[in-house]
Amino acid sequence: MGDASLPKTNILLAFYKEFPAVFYDQVRSRFSDAEITSLILPLGTPIPQEAARKATIIVTLGSLPKPEDAKHIKFIHFFSAGLDKVIHNPILTDSDIPVTTSSGIHGPPISEWTLLNWLAASRKFSITYEDQKKHIWGNEAYGTGIQDHVGKKIGILGYGSIGRQIARVSIALGATVYAYTASPKPTPASRRDQHYIIPGTGDPDGTLPVSWHHGTDKASLHSFLSLGLDHVVVSLPLTPQTTHLLGAEEFALLAANKPQGHRNPYLTNISRGKVIDQDALIKSLESGELSGAALDVTDPEPLPKDHPLWDAPNVQISPHISPLGDEYFVRSFDIVRENLERSRRGDPLINAYKRGKGY
């Protein structure tokens, strides 16, 4: 792609709000030979023709050009890892313009969010927090039912960059990790992370799990959930195959196979709300079948004020903010920089969206 009439790289940043001036300074320092332009558009609003036709790279959260206005585009990069909200856009369905995601940058913040919720639940943090506000000095009764994570089993559904960093921090706690993927990963080469990796994070070679499991059918999933898992982390893309992947049957199976003397299993969802049958989850929490759940995603979002999930016992809900941090957008542009160099060399792009797979 590209055109001789557009010799200079023109990176168009299309976002729904203005970034701080320091952010633009950081981006320009990384792309000194490129022209950086920005456009503020309501989320999902199409990029106007004039702006699209001047760009060679578009960086966006959800605003896209029409295919006929994108003939100069070398690639389009998304700030998100999942593209389920734009998967039916003509750019993805009716063009072959390369599309890349920000997969790989979410591992550190989301793993810290996950660890925060695990420890808040297992150490009964809410009790001491509320007592502190009331100026109450507690007693040894706090220790009842508290367990640490040494020897616990962590099952990770979807062993991408997020799952790999969660594995890394889990092992630091003394836990063991079990990985589940849709396709088989029988060789060392197949277990390597092919996406963008923040240096010093994750599991680049796929050596941390004590065992790998795979499948797209119920039997394979149920075999995995029968391993005696203390935690199940959902880190999957939302596809027709993963919609309501976990429901009443799966929660019952988890509880039935819990290790003797351990608390009932704990569910963490940092993917998409629709991967979980939310009504079944509420019932499982109310019955104690699951000891708790940490949810950064719900169905729908925003979660209505009168939704019963808010009041389910032992649930911790945050408004889809687990990936956020000051480093987020700068790291996303690191992927753009890498792919710009790859594009110039004619090499395959990293984090390329695979049309037909949905991720």
Active site residues: 272, 301, 320
Residue 169's Cα: distance from chain center in Å? 16
152: phi then psi, degrees, rounded to nearest 5: -80, 155
85: phi then psi, degrees, rounded to nearest 5: -80, -15
Adjacency order of strands within the sheet including 176-181? 211-214, 176-181, 153-157, 231-234, 266-269, 292-295, 315-317
What is the distance between the terminal CA atoms of the chain, rounded to a whole angstrom?
Answer: 23
Distance CA(295)–CA(114), nearest Å, equals 9
Asked if 248 and 284 count as a contact pair (C-beta separation under 8 A), the reply is yes
Distance CA(190)–CA(94), nearest Å, equals 31
Longest dimension (CA), the chain: 74
Torsion of CA 69, 331, 22, 24, to 10 degrees: -20
